[in-house]
Structure 1
Amino acid sequence: METVLNLPKQLIEVSGEEDEDECRAPVWLGLRRVHSWQFSPLEAYNEHSQQEYVRYSVWEVAAGVTSDVDVVKSLLDGSCKARRHPGTLDVRTVSLPEPLKEAAHAVIQDYPEKNVQKDAKVLNQYLCSRQAALEPEEAKMRYHEVREKIKMEDDIDPDFPNIPEEERQRLHDSLRSKVYERMKKEVYHWQAIQYDTYKCVLYLAARLAPDFAALVQIMSDMKKRDPGFTPLTMLDFGSGVGSGMWAMDHVWPHTCREVVFVDSSSDMNDLADRLLRGGNADKPRLVREGGTFFKQFLPLSNLLKYDLVISSRSLFEIPNINMRLKTIDVLWQKTSGYLVLVETGSNEGYRLVQEARDYLLELSRKAQEEGEPNPEGYVFAPCPHDNFCPRFFDGSNIPCNFEVDYKPLALGRKQSAQREKFTYVVLKRGMREKSSEKQWPRLVEDPLCRKKHVVCRVCTPSGTLREVTATKRRHSAECYKLMRHSRWGDLVPVQLSEVPDPSNVDTQDGDELSEPEQIQN
């Protein structure tokens, strides 16, 4: 018998009865609590951890810092500039390809321009502020919290003894009504988004350019760090208007032979197909050797695997953690190379990405513990480690996110470049080979440049947050230049030692730093 799990935006098609070996979402129940509203992150982790974790409530001042020897040699012989060192993201301001831009305008011109501008802005604001659906236990807890709060405010207690039954019932009804009214205002009410033809056009106008830019930056980093990887097949889950395919073709042109789009909205699939036809549904579609396929269901079968699997801004559309993890598990089983998960750069988007990341890493740890010959995989980017994200535990309430500049799709008058914040994780099949790849820390904020020193905040290969200070006098001109010219999201070509080094602080020539720099987030 065939069963179908109905996801609001995507559908997963399940054949036969569920098999825990095939769908392993329940294997790590601790994940529920690590990313749960019920416990603080540290309490949740301590209850279910597989390894010891030290909470960093403040940024640790880094120990000794030394530049990568090979990079320094390249700087000295002139083959490399500090502004373009090997760890930099080469993407600056991202523009849509002309064929895509023309196709998008051809679609949008079928509708009143001012209406599209206004409605697209409203939709974009809604999408950027979107939150995940509450779990049943969380909704129950919030109900009782609001109920107790109203009881205190109104100084009423229907359960107080010696109250006539009629009066007690009246108080209960009144309290229940007040609780529901308060929850409507204070508690996020998740609803599935139904994309009809017009709403798909609004999504195109609002999200095509920023989604494309974020994926181009992520994929460009993948290509730079793994030049031998070339995707021949791609699966895009929650494909929307097809930004993932266009970004892939932009980074790896004329290489992908087969693309599979998965989106439960037939109108969205029709729009993505129309863009491939230059905006005219009567024109022929761009041809690939293996074909371009549009699906409304994601089969659970593991027989077909893809070099590159993408899920961009789709996790919010899945109604609960069980279905999210099941979806992530299916996508991972279909991945032969890289799995890319992208969400909006909000706290909630960051939480959902970490939820998926930690689940897949736990599967990998279990595989290694059991001695399986082919362990699951590791985090390729942005994290230089496979530990829990230290920002999730540092108490700052600041997500680990990144920025990309892009030129928006012009509607009416020409618009200046804009900036998109996003959070993401890229997982790669296999084991992390420490000897084959330089383990550099990644900048999680823009550097703070002073007159004679520069302060960088980085996430290290050991899974900790560090504040690194460099000066020309103590760390060489090359080290200073490399750090000064790095940007948020870059890998910094330096090695950090674990033993405090007094040379990390210059106490002469006005460079003294008595305490860690206070960087505004």
Structure 2
Amino acid sequence: MLRRLKFAPLSSFSVVSSSTAVANPATNPVKRERVSVVKGVDERTEEVSMLRLSVSDRTGERVKFGKVSSVPKMAETGLVGALQTCPSPHKQLQHQADDLKKKLSQRRFPLDPTHMQQMRSRIRKDIASKSMDAHDFDTPDMLSARKYVMMKEVDAEMKKKFVSWRPLDLNRRDKALTYALARFAPNLAAIKRVLVELDRDKNFVPQSVLDYGSGCGTTFWACEEKWPLRVKEYCMIDPCQEMNELAVDIMRTGKESGDLIHKNVNFRRSLPPTADRTFDLVVSAHSFIEMNSYDLRMDTLASLWNRTNKYLVLIESGLYDSFNAIIRARDYVLASGWEVKTEEAMQMLYEKNLLTPSIRQLLTRDERGFSERQRLHLLKEALPADVELPTLLPTGYVFAPCPHDSACPRTAVRKGREGRPCTTQIRWQRFRADGKTTRGDGTERETISYVVLAKGDRPADDAAALPRVIEEVNKSKGHANCTLCTAECGVRRIDIGKTRGKTVYQLVRGAVQGTLLPVNVDFHTGEIDDYDEGDDDYDVSEEDDHDNEKSK
């Protein structure tokens, strides 16, 4: 079927420079809609509402992500040189690395003792409901035997459902090199991908970097590639001495007696005892999974946050329990930054003669119905701007990927099932010690969960943060649909056609998972107008009819 082309009269065409067309839209022969009203489906409740999408002027917040990460040449040279220090054959190390990579890709976080006990109790009840009652046994010995059998059945069921967690043992040179061959390239790709988010802060260049769980030094290489020779100090923390020595050898580019490629890199096996020394950028990548309890992770997180001057980066795998651990860490920092230390605050305000009855009422939580976040906001409004209230942890906000500081909608239970992880895909060039080539383009992929937390209050102009595309965009002729995480409207699935605004449609169609979409999203409460797309090049509905006829 022929498309119905809509030509303007020949006299209406004129030669216009591109700069004039952009500066003066009225003279541009191609008018494009900048507002679109579409249906948005809440991912959790399936509630349908109308959303108003308008093109944002905050295009400076969009950043470009590299498609494929590769190991820097100097790091590759250093890693090859480090391999020469191990007597094990390279082929054997690579084979062990391939096995380790498979295990780590499905490695789960250790269950908390409370959660573990709840699961054992639930399994025990399920088994007991299918077996004979206790009164069917006559003697204490038979009851004791039954309890023993029950315990074995519970243990077997726990092993089926939950893989037992064990810490990584890398205290030998061959084991450290095996880990480096398995994870150097993907860990580097993950850190490089997350650091790109910091490009939104145009003036940020860290003067000091703390890497907790530094491993083979991937954070160092990612930072040096992004800010070459501009970071003045690195502090690398890893409890494994063998991994620290391997990281040093790689930084020497394979020369045993050579100097490090950076003059100020310090290695430690634990955090400094005091938090007086802060760092502009603190990174913890794939380290929380090495801690065997939630309390230990939160204590470490608090120590890292207290040592953060500007940004804290947390990265884990794309599995749901890793995503859940990231969200719990995010919520812990946010909630602790909103909770005021009542006694210290009252004493400080009393000494400054600022403790009014209304402020005392807010501090003592006599006013019901306020969350800790709302209470802190009301206190800051009532007090002078130079008064800083003491909180459990320094106040912060989510810089990326979330456009909000509220609870994550994806952790909520939907229809009796656990939530879905919010992940980002990374891609890297393979690096192998055995020189073996593989089919395809020589790249590998995996997903990660991450969060970037920033110190201080969320900027006032960031109240309407841009939404983030959290699923792959599905495209068809004249239509595109995607899933957005928004600042005010939750997680919404939208379906937009070309007839509902060409500019917004093109932005959605060209979006990539994990990137920001430069549109403002609001609930639409007015009437829904039928947009007149007289400036389209052709009738989209007729194009769709043509596609339907072809599919038949």
TM-score range, shorter chain: 0.7 to 0.9
Query: Which amino acid letter does the alignment assign opposite residue 441 of structure 1?
Result: P
Post-superposition offset of 1:69:
4.3
**Of 450, 455, 466, which aligns to 1:429?**
455
Matches within 5 A, 1:348-427: 348-367=321-340, 369=376, 371=380, 373=388, 376-393=395-412, 395=414, 397-411=419-433, 412-415=435-438, 416-427=442-453
**2:320 matched to 1:347?**
yes
> Match of 2:158?
183
Post-superposition offset of 1:474:
2.1
**2:425 matched to 1:449?**
no
Secondary structure class of the residue paired with 2:472? coil
Secondary structure class of the residue paired with 1:297? coil
Taking a change above 3 Å as real, the CA distance of residues 149 and 295 of structure 1, as seen in their structure-2 partners, is same
Post-superposition offset of 1:363:
1.6
After superposition, give the CA deviation of every residue in 1:243-295 in whole Å (9 maximum; x if it has no partner). Answer: 1111111111111111011111000000011111002322211233xx21111
Taking a change above 3 Å as real, the CA distance of residues 435 and 325 of structure 1, as seen in their structure-2 partners, is same
Query: Which amino acid letter does the alignment assign opposite residue 413 of structure 1?
Result: K
Percentage identity across paired residues of the two chains: 27
**2:191 matched to 1:215?**
yes
Query: Which amino acid letter does the alignment assign opposite residue 348 of structure 1?
Result: D
CA–CA distance in 1 between the matches of 2:129 and 2:244? 52
CA–CA distance in 2 between the matches of 1:504 and 1:302? 60
Post-superposition offset of 1:92:
1.5
- Whether the 8 Å CA contact 1:62–1:496 is kept in 2: the answer is no
Secondary structure class of the residue paired with 1:64? strand
Taking a change above 3 Å as real, the CA distance of residues 90 and 410 of structure 1, as seen in their structure-2 partners, is same
**2:91 matched to 1:114?**
yes
Q: TM-score, normalised by structure 2?
A: 0.75
- Whether the 8 Å CA contact 1:259–1:293 is kept in 2: the answer is yes
- Whether the 8 Å CA contact 2:426–2:446 is kept in 1: the answer is yes
Taking a change above 3 Å as real, the CA distance of residues 91 and 165 of structure 1, as seen in their structure-2 partners, is same
**2:220 matched to 1:245?**
yes
Post-superposition offset of 1:466:
1.4
Post-superposition offset of 1:166:
2.7
Post-superposition offset of 1:143:
2.2
CA–CA distance in 2 between the matches of 1:503 and 1:451? 23
> Match of 2:54?
66
> Match of 1:497?
522
Taking a change above 3 Å as real, the CA distance of residues 116 and 463 of structure 1, as seen in their structure-2 partners, is farther
Post-superposition offset of 1:506:
10
Taking a change above 3 Å as real, the CA distance of residues 70 and 234 of structure 1, as seen in their structure-2 partners, is closer
Structure 1 unmatched ranges of 5 or more = 1-53, 72-84, 514-521
> Match of 2:368?
none
**Of 87, 95, 100, which aligns to 1:123?**
100
Secondary structure class of the residue paired with 1:231? coil
Query: Which amino acid letter does the alignment assign opposite residue 122 of structure 1?
Result: D
Secondary structure class of the residue paired with 2:311? strand
**2:307 matched to 1:327?**
no
- Whether the 8 Å CA contact 1:58–1:394 is kept in 2: the answer is no
Taking a change above 3 Å as real, the CA distance of residues 495 and 57 of structure 1, as seen in their structure-2 partners, is same
Post-superposition offset of 1:404:
1.6
Q: TM-score, normalised by structure 1?
A: 0.79
Taking a change above 3 Å as real, the CA distance of residues 511 and 257 of structure 1, as seen in their structure-2 partners, is farther
After superposition, give the CA deviation of every residue in 1:50-108 in whole Å (9 maximum; x if it has no partner). Answer: xxxx993337555111112465xxxxxxxxxxxxx852433211111110111112223
- Whether the 8 Å CA contact 2:489–2:523 is kept in 1: the answer is no
Post-superposition offset of 1:393:
1.3
Taking a change above 3 Å as real, the CA distance of residues 142 and 286 of structure 1, as seen in their structure-2 partners, is same
Q: CA RMSD in A?
A: 2.6
CA–CA distance in 1 between the matches of 2:422 and 2:47? 14
Query: Which amino acid letter does the alignment assign opposite residue 449 of structure 2?
Result: T
Query: Which amino acid letter does the alignment assign opposite residue 395 of structure 2?
Result: E
- Whether the 8 Å CA contact 1:442–1:491 is kept in 2: the answer is yes
Taking a change above 3 Å as real, the CA distance of residues 139 and 497 of structure 1, as seen in their structure-2 partners, is closer
- Whether the 8 Å CA contact 1:233–1:306 is kept in 2: the answer is yes
- Whether the 8 Å CA contact 2:489–2:522 is kept in 1: the answer is no
Post-superposition offset of 1:184:
3.5
Structure with higher Rg: it is 2
Aligned length: 441
Taking a change above 3 Å as real, the CA distance of residues 176 and 503 of structure 1, as seen in their structure-2 partners, is same
- Whether the 8 Å CA contact 1:385–1:463 is kept in 2: the answer is no
Taking a change above 3 Å as real, the CA distance of residues 504 and 258 of structure 1, as seen in their structure-2 partners, is farther
